[in-house]
Amino acid sequence: MSETVSSHEHHGHRERMRDRYLQSGLQGFSPHEVLEILLFFGIPRRDVNTLAHRVLAHFGSLSAVLGASPEQLKQVPGIGVHAATLLSLFIPVMRYIEHEQLGDRPLVTSYREAKEYCRHLFSGLREEVFYIVCMDARGRVLRAVPAVYGTIDEITIYPRTIVEVAIRHNAHSVLLAHNHPSGAKEPSESDIATTALLRDSLGAVDIAVRDHIIYADGECVSMAQWQQVQRVAPLLTPAAPKAADKNHGWRRGARALREAEDEELHALCAGLENDINGDGLG
């Protein structure tokens, strides 16, 4: 009897949810309803309301559900390979679209542009990755290379490997970037040491390190800005232009990202001297 009542209650439910979405988008939808409407397409002929609640309870949030791998999703009873594949596709597809909109070779010449580029680079990644972004003399991206996977504190970054990557892609300068899946936004001691080591190694072959961006919890921190706000010994400092390129200013010199169109640093120095926990640097 209870199964008959349950079946009657859910008769037409999918159509009502679909029509509601078509009329007003996801406005007013709760997280479990958003997940439920997605599951309609992964599990065509079954009530998925209870399953949506179960999946959300397992992962804790909708963003965590969509950020999970197919293997993690299949650990929830009721989620098969089709539903797991569908749910795991959303963030990679978003990253693909963002990359397409950004273009293959964007121009990165300010702190803001560097952060925005790295935000797209790391959005949706489930593991820690260390990128070396190779750039030409004008600040245009030549190639973003994932040089190291894992946790920087636990693995060894070989400067020779990083230098070889930069030379292979004819980099005039590079932007270093890695993510902190833990959500810690402030540079660690290992981050600082790694930055100094790579700056010196790349500088030895006349390749500048423009900045080192840390991505954490959806926000980006520029180490070039951070060092100035914290008033620590400089890691990333402008260097004199090459002798053959004096007329080209910063574009041919090994200097950090320009601030001409970026007022962030001024605001940071003026208003955050007493609040330097890193949360406002993204």
Q: For residue 151, give the CATH number of its domain.
A: 3.40.140.10
Q: Kindly state the average pLDDT of the residues 249-275.
A: 40
Cα dihedral: 118, 121, 125, 127 (round 10): -70
- For residues 158 and 219, give the distance between their C-alpha atoms in angstroms, rounded to a whole number: 27
State whether 144 and 88 are in the same domain. no
So what's the pLDDT on residue 8?
A: 43
pLDDT at 156 exceeding the cut of 70: no
**18 and 66 part of one domain:** yes
Judged by average pLDDT, the poorest of 67-71, 136-140, 207-211, 228-232 is 228-232
Domain that holds residue 170: 103-281
Of 75, 95, 115, which one is at a domain's C-terminal end? 95
Poorest-confidence range of 111-115, 162-166, 187-191, 250-254? 250-254
The total number of structural domains in the chain stands at 2
pLDDT at 10: 60
117 and 46 belong to one structural domain: no
Is the whole model's pTM more than 0.75, yes or no?
A: no
Instruction: Answer yes or no: do 154 and 174 share one domain.
Output: yes
* Percent of the chain's residues with pLDDT above 90: 37
Same domain, 277 and 146: yes
From 76, 95, 114, the end of a domain falls on 95
The pLDDT value given to residue 123:
77
Model pLDDT, residue 128: 85
41 and 169 share a domain? no
Model pLDDT, residue 226: 84
Looking at residue 51, what is its pLDDT? 95
Q: What is the DSSP letter of 268?
A: H
Residue-averaged pLDDT of the chain: 77
Q: Is 96 left (phi over 0), alpha (psi -120 to 50) or beta?
A: alpha
**pLDDT reading at 264 higher than 70:** no
Q: Which of 36, 60, 95 marks a domain boundary?
A: 95
Q: What average pLDDT score do residues 181-206 get?
A: 87
My answer on whether 116 and 201 are in the same domain is yes
272 and 168 inside one domain = yes
In three-state secondary structure terms, 147 is strand
According to the model, what pLDDT value does residue 45 have?
79
